[in-house]
Structure 1
Amino acid sequence: MAKRQFRCLVCGYQTPRWLGRCPECGSWDSFSAEAPTKAQRAAAPVHTLSEIEGKDERLQVGMEEFDRVLGGGLVPGSLVLVGGDPGIGKSTLLLQVAAHLSQHGRVLYVSGEESVHQIASRARRLGLDSGTLLLASVTDVELIKEQAENLRPRVLVVDSIQTLVHPRVQGIPGGIAQVRECIAVLQQLAKGLELPILMIGHVTKEGILAGPRLLEHLVDVVLYLEGDRYQSYRLLRGVKNRYGATQEIGVFSMSERGMMPVTNPSALFLTGHGTDNSVGAAVVVTVEGTRPLLVEIQALVSSTCYTLPRRMVTGLDLNRTLLLLAVMEKRLGLRLGNSDVYMNVVGGMKIIDPGADLGAALAVMSSYQELPFPQDTVAIGELGLTGEVRPVRLLDLRLREAAKLGYSRAIVGRGEASLSALPSLALIPVASLREAVEVLW
């Protein structure tokens, strides 16, 4: 006999026994008992690996940046969740994706937020027109399932998962119970018909409305659309992908024609760099997934009269930045305790790659000493607590990207000096941060 499961109504955490406080999200008295379903009680058929034929075919979307993040295209029967803040461009992007896919067959675009006339108006404004793109304004997930079974489209797009309701489930749209049952219906539909389903999920500050935080373990692929509303570019980042690499990114530029893929994102993030001999700006080569990107890190060190100096960071991890500042104070003897430090990644890019440590530290040093960072040089390296420059992954890929954009020198760790430099790019091996400062200034 199958045992009952208890699920947290806030974050979806499951446990075989009731708990007063959720260990995942910390909510009190949030667990509800779930009866085992008939599918859970039934015995599942068992097959050997040799009996099952592998399927490697993928459905190309036709947008290079989108296909890149997916790992080469849509896998039949996959559930893809696209999350992001309201107004960031999720609906626009998936409408364009649906229009591209409809050139090779029927695509069903279902919206619970807009009428079909509003969707059609937006599509025409973006210059999208396809006779095989089918539009529907439905919130009942059972009706969506019935339409998909009758029409048999190549792809189903749902905008958004928070607006769907199951007629036999109590609860408001977007609630935990509704979202869980709706996603179960769509999952059964996707696997049964080998139908790729693209869904939009809104991100909320509290995470109460069953956004991607709850759905991540139920879907196959999770993509986040990031960016600043006041910037024209958007980043599509893969945070979960059962069929490809994670942390892969696609770069788009928002325009009147919708989301336009950016083929050379490094040039986008370096726009304006090199126009003058600025102080406190260093260029680093970071890797997102398998894509190398050149970005500019700016630092401003200014004296303060306050007892507690300020540390403000945009685009970098604050804790990582505080660690770098501590290393610089200890190993280089910098007196940053009476100075405010401000750091920013140009263009709103968010860097999590430790290979940008060396460039960030050199940008701070440049601002502290009022010495310009050489404009023909890039910095690549991770810093340890002893001030040593550690090796980074995919260095060859980073060096080729720097050479392609016209840089002639690269500061790297001494352990990587054995790598053969490109003809147009000279390697400057350093063992420590102090040695890198002595080489530059």
Structure 2
Amino acid sequence: MPALVEAAGGWRRGGRSAGLAGLDDAPIRGLRAQPRARGAAGLMPLPASVIGELKKVAGRDHVITAPNDLRIFERDGSIEGAVPDAIVLPSNTEQVAAVIKVAARHNIPIVPRGAGTGLSGGAVTIRGGIALQMTRMRRILEIDPVGQTALVEPGVVNQELSLAAAPHQLFYAPDPSSQKACTIGGNAAENSGGPHCLYYGVTTNHVLGMEVVLADGSVHWVSGDAADRIGLDLCGVLVGSEGTLCAITKVKVRLLRIPPSIATLLAAFPSIDAASQAVSAVIGRGIVPAALEMMDKVTVGAVEAHYRAGYPTDAGAVLLVEVDGVAESTRECARRRRRPSATSYGPAARAPSGPWGASSPTTTSTTGWCRDQSCRRCCRRSARSACITSCRSPTSFTPATATCTQTSSSTFATARCSSRSRRRARRCCTQWSSWAARSRASMASDS
């Protein structure tokens, strides 16, 4: 393991010596928060000899160095960005390993990149170097309906895997909001969740093994199968490492049976606090929904303006709930779920009208607000993805909404109840104060 950690240090921190002396000891998160530091350092483009080596490895047409083309890969889904020095699009594991070896020989930082939909900045080349674009590796290598597993390349789109498994009555459970575009490799690198993570868990709960390339170009298979978990769980270490430890070239995932029955509910509340308390009440009654998501009044208005989903625009907050299983159990869960809403916090829950009742509860709630021109400035300022456990939900939004009220700006709040660790939930909660201060300073500078 020490060798792996050492390789990880060289992966992101081992930048070129020219112009990076002042950045070598800076923390990774600090570098991501200062995308202009790279330009101020006066870095030179990659030498022509290095570009030639990359083209020899991946093919002339699969190495991008034109400035205008590089800007396409400047950002992921976050608000930070930095232009890479080169983009390489490998088509197999051998090319990935060869590109990484070239970068290691010349001490050039390299950042694996999927579809660029993540909100953590994990695909942004803050320190320059090479962006390893994995989207050409998009084959579904195997679907085993008996063992309920699939072996895929990292560029396979999340939703396409579920569609390919559907004829076998199987599906891939982790479903991020961007599942129509995000890739399995990116999901594994970020340990993505989605609206159904409360019941089904996040990516690490469904990855059985991975083929990875380390920072020295060596190729390894790491397994997360229960029978192989003797000693350190390397698969668990690498899932969620955001490309700092390895580049993922194959992923073996667990598939689940498609539930025979799905019931969806919508409940309106006078405020976010009331909706948050209802979430705690639902969990306290022993009901674990497949998905549970909340939207505030502004988000509901933006969604209704584009999708006409039938959401109550006069409500302070809306709670969307999905339960699945056999028909009898889903009806019982839906009946029990209506009770706390009706008796304690707001009007009775009902089956939603419009397209949401027949599809995923988050299809409109997580994408509709992005289409509204009036909120795009806010999105650029404050795009964040936080994970809050149900016990913290009643107080999690107070700092953010207070900041937006003080600055007379719009806040678009959506929240999901998650099963991730309390440690991460606490970390996300404590980051609200620093986020609020940066938002106030940024908005004040524009006024």
Greater RCO (Cα-Cα under 8 Å, separation 6 or more): 2
The answer to whether TM tops 0.5 is no
Structure that is richer in helix per residue: 2
**TM-score, normalised relative to structure 1:** 0.28
Greater strand content: 1
Higher Cα Rg, which structure: 1
